[in-house]
A and B are shown apart, each in its own frame.
Chain A
């Protein structure tokens, strides 16, 4: 299955803003009531904002022009009332709509994270972690900025524009229509220009992802860069990415900045039309000066929010471009589903039936593998590097599904188990140990419901009875030693020790050790062997190692090479195979 992102070309994202926004609909499911309230408030605010120029116009025409003081004050009181209503409704609107935005963002982040958790390991192997991190951090942030700042203004302004537009037409259809002509022209221009702006924004986000990928890769491996005198190379590669990002960002900036001046132009033209046409109407006696003043205010009320929309428009395009990149992740489906059970009676705890595996790039790793592992026995996988040992082990734990054939766990297709059951049955100590930021304790009980939230005494008792407590002395602060997921403060050997304790504590039925002790000294390793011996007699062990002493006690040895898995009769024959076998590498 191909999970590679970034295959999509920026020019493909031509869909309209509505398609983009429609993607957000499922995330708004619980919000319709709040959206209703917010819309009512927005409508009320806009109505009040539209009423005030009308009142002002009335005051000018009816009272100021006629010198009627009491009228001025009475109607000013009304104006105050309108302003107070507007105060209340605009508070409700900001509060409710802002809340809706926050919650949508919250749901969106949760949705992405859930999706990330659903996707198989292959997804993470096929994509650069720097780009992935940028996609999740920077791109959701663009959406966040839109939700936090622009969404409400967007809706409020849309209301104001609609209301002012309708009022303009109602007050005087001819003058109103004339006033709206520049707006129509500018909206058509927006339709034409938007795809260009969005493409430019998408491109600039893409180059930002590339830039951050470049930086991430270089900084994470800084020691190699220093030790191999490649600082110049780091600078050059960065300079290229920086320059690419610069030109993409300038293009995006030039594209998204076109709207504001354009809308400003429309506003000035709108005013000019009203003024000129209005004066002609007044001269002809079809209009009063007061009405014209009011009309001018409505034109301002129509075009000002439109100009604000223009300034939000670019942030909307950027948010939509970010949403595109997020949607790319959300649209991926894991192909590692749970299939219906097809139980076969079997003594073997683990069996491969005609298993073949091939990477998406087409490289064959395993072909037609058959073997069965008996319960309680210890197996060793040996063979030259690149022969397929890790892949075989990964298939046993369903990190990948075979390209063809069946992997059986306790007689059942491994794909028929729920992840909970499978995880409880199989323990796998990975070649590259990974630690979460926290303490040694956090890491050894990680993902183990039996100890999470229980007192230390329970954990210590188990550690002691399993003989694991002696390993804790390798950490200066014992269980409380702090651990960081990044950084080299802890040695590879120490990380392997934690991974070992973590797996042994889970007491799995099948325990796979993939060069799990490669960087641990042989004295400590003997200790680990003792611990393994104390595991229940039903525990099946699969050990991958280069150091032969590690696999000395194996009941059977499999020689894995060039896509085949062969049973070696004895240790001697295994060594013989290793010496004389055809080498893949």
Chain B
């Protein structure tokens, strides 16, 4: 077993060991304490043997025994607790720093990266994968060090006491090693499968939390339970298979240990009778056997911890070494707001979300983007705000490619109001002033523009009211207006609205848009919308369908040139009168 471990060890923990380099002083201290406390432990049986051999002897003094033993006990206590402290602190530091490094890397990535890797995977990386690495530091290092130390130490002592008996006893070691190797190589596969079953379980649980309203409306709790039961049963049956392996392994290991005891009794008994061994040595032999076998078992179990930790670290390392997005330039100037989109193509999986899209938006103008569901409208806004990296084509702002700008400077000057409302578990103030640079005046102006004053006045603590993560007590329109205020609070030069008006009534919408023009003069506006009415007087309207630009022009032009536009227009005609009034 020990040979197997040594041969396989480096390759398995290969990635893990470099991770520990910055903590070398902690690790060195840990190893030193471990070795010291184990060395002291080996002294114990020696003291016992001397005491028993000296029974009845004249040179024996009880007080010496007591002093020696108490020193030993105190030493072992201090060293083991010291070791625990060091390994706890070291493990938690490794975990904390690893998490911090992960978050640092993630925060340098772009939005597309997080979307591809998926937030839930990253959450697993940051929690259970880090935990696995932590177990490696907190359990495996000292256990493996002390196990090897004890195995080698006990073997040497056994050989010194009686090499013949020692060799006879040590024959059980390869047997134990082989059993472990056999079982663990099979269990590892099962562990992977069991991890997958847990992932499955988690997915069912997560969806049942996020879709709780729907489930209750459809009374589909039973079908959710069936899904859960299936996953849980799978997890159970894999667990049972692992159990079967271990319930065979452990008794066999114990039995091998017992066989070694038998060898000592029979063969050692022979040696004592024939006078080549003292009774004290015989007793010590038995004690050392206990010391020898236990670490072998420990190494077996720890090899699993190491395997799990290195698998987890592999997953973490993948994130850590992930290629950083191409760095942007450092142009930090005030934008005018001239936007040009040139031959832009954006692919989502197999599908082209945007296909060779070109359009020009002049500074200070208002542009509306209209089109059916899944036309690529959102992707267009994402591309303009730099959230999305196109497969081909480019976007320029004020004649400069988007990527020449300093990223922060661009995000500060291009405000995007997302289609779905995202509120954070923070106060309304922090949700709106969601940036370090927002001052009170900008905040007040944004709140006023988004027509939020009256709403905020009704909140128990005004702007400082904390809203819950999913903004329960807020209506869809209120959340959306908070999103708008958040974008406006940056005093942007360009404002991108993604279906902003979908959840705001016509009257409020009109007021808000008028407020924007009044409070943010010269702002360049690109608005994705479904309603033609409010945007009829815009400088240009872009008709987007299935990722392609079908027509561009003013309302009048499109009414003459684009049958598709006319179709959309007439679909809204029946109530257009009211819309116009509103």
Contact = CB atoms under 8 A, between A and B. Distances in A.
Nearest to A433: B214
Interface centre among B89, B212, B503 (most CB of A within 10 A): B212
Contact of B84 (A234, A257, A452): A257
A397 B107 CA distance: 42
A292 B269 CA distance: 17
Contacts of A489: 348-349
B504 interface: yes
Contacts of A385: 475-478, 480-481, 503-505, 508
Interface residues of A, number: 177
A170 interface: no
B240 A99 contact: yes
Interface stretch (A25-33, A56-64, A320-328, A533-541): A56-64
A123 B115 CA distance: 28
A491 B582 CA distance: 28
Contacts of B501: 546
A485 B76 CA distance: 55
Contacts of A337: none
B217 A261 contact: no
Interface stretch (B121-129, B391-399, B513-521): B121-129
A223 B382 CA distance: 9
A99 B243 contact: yes
A126 B470 CA distance: 9
A80 B254 contact: no
Contacts of B258: 52, 83, 86
A387 B505 CA distance: 11
A542 to B, nearest CB: 14
Interface string A535-560: 00000000000111100100000000
Interface stretch (B5-13, B174-182, B369-377): B369-377
A427 B387 CA distance: 37
Nearest to B496: A227
Contacts of A491: 373-374, 378
Interface stretch (A11-19, A268-276, A402-410): A268-276
Interface stretch (A189-197, A371-379, A456-464, A516-524): A516-524
A494 B65 contact: no
Contacts of B206: 129, 133, 485
A547 B214 contact: no
A410 to B, nearest CB: 17
Given A117-B215, A117-B225, A359 B283 contact: no
Nearest to B217: A428
Contacts of A130: 469
Contacts of B183: none
Contacts of B184: none
A451 to B, nearest CB: 12
Interface in B211-255: 211-221, 223-225, 228-229, 232-233, 235-236, 239-240, 243-244, 246-248, 250-252, 254-255
B52 A289 contact: yes
A476 B351 contact: yes
Contacts of A296: 48, 283
Contact of B373 (A91, A524, A584): A524
A229 B261 CA distance: 68
B149 interface: no
A72 B476 contact: no
Contacts of A223: 111, 382, 387, 418, 422
B218 A447 contact: yes
Contact of A265 (B55, B73, B119, B201): B73
Nearest to B531: A547
A10 to B, nearest CB: 18
B391 to A, nearest CB: 16
B507 A217 contact: no
A426 B80 CA distance: 65
B530 A253 contact: no
Interface stretch (B23-31, B156-164, B333-341, B572-580): B572-580
A340 interface: no
Nearest to B370: A521
B572 to A, nearest CB: 5
Given A524-B372, A578-B582, A109 B201 contact: yes
Contacts of B66: 272, 276
Contacts of B52: 275, 289, 292-293
Contacts of B502: 515, 518-519, 546
B44 A72 contact: no
B120 interface: yes
B273 A260 contact: no
A434 B255 CA distance: 56
Interface stretch (A172-180, A237-245, A342-350): A237-245
B272 interface: yes
Given A217-B469, A219-B123, A254-B88, A59 B269 contact: yes
Interface string B25-53: 00000000000000000001000100110
B460 A361 contact: yes
A133 B209 contact: yes
Contacts of B324: none
B425 A575 contact: no
A280 interface: yes
Contacts of A282: 55-56
Given A223-B111, A485-B210, A254 B219 contact: no
A128 B123 contact: no
A165 to B, nearest CB: 19
A448 B430 CA distance: 42
Given A102-B243, A272-B66, A128 B475 contact: no
B374 A474 contact: yes
B92 A233 contact: no
Nearest to B579: A548
Interface string B413-451: 000101110101100000000111000000000000001
A69 B250 contact: no
Nearest to B250: A94
Contacts of A137: 198, 202, 205
A230 B76 contact: no
B70 interface: yes
B243 to A, nearest CB: 4
B567 A217 contact: no
B505 A497 contact: no
Interface string A559-585: 000000000000100010011000111
A520 B91 CA distance: 52
B206 to A, nearest CB: 6
Interface stretch (B97-105, B310-318, B357-365, B553-561): B97-105
A222 B114 contact: yes
Interface string A423-444: 1001110111010110000000
A292 B49 CA distance: 12
Contacts of A264: 76-77, 80
A467 interface: no
B582 A212 contact: no
Contacts of A91: 247-248, 251
B574 A426 contact: no
A184 interface: no
15 contacts: A69-B270, A88-B251, A106-B235, A242-B99, A268-B44, A296-B48, A386-B455, A386-B474, A430-B213, A432-B420, A434-B211, A518-B502, A523-B372, A548-B575, A585-B451
The 9 closest A-B pairs by CB, nearest first: A385-B477, A447-B220, A493-B373, A253-B88, A423-B219, A447-B218, A257-B84, A219-B119, A94-B247
Given A141-B128, A279-B65, A280-B62, 6 more contacts: A83-B262, A88-B251, A268-B73, A279-B62, A386-B477, A579-B581
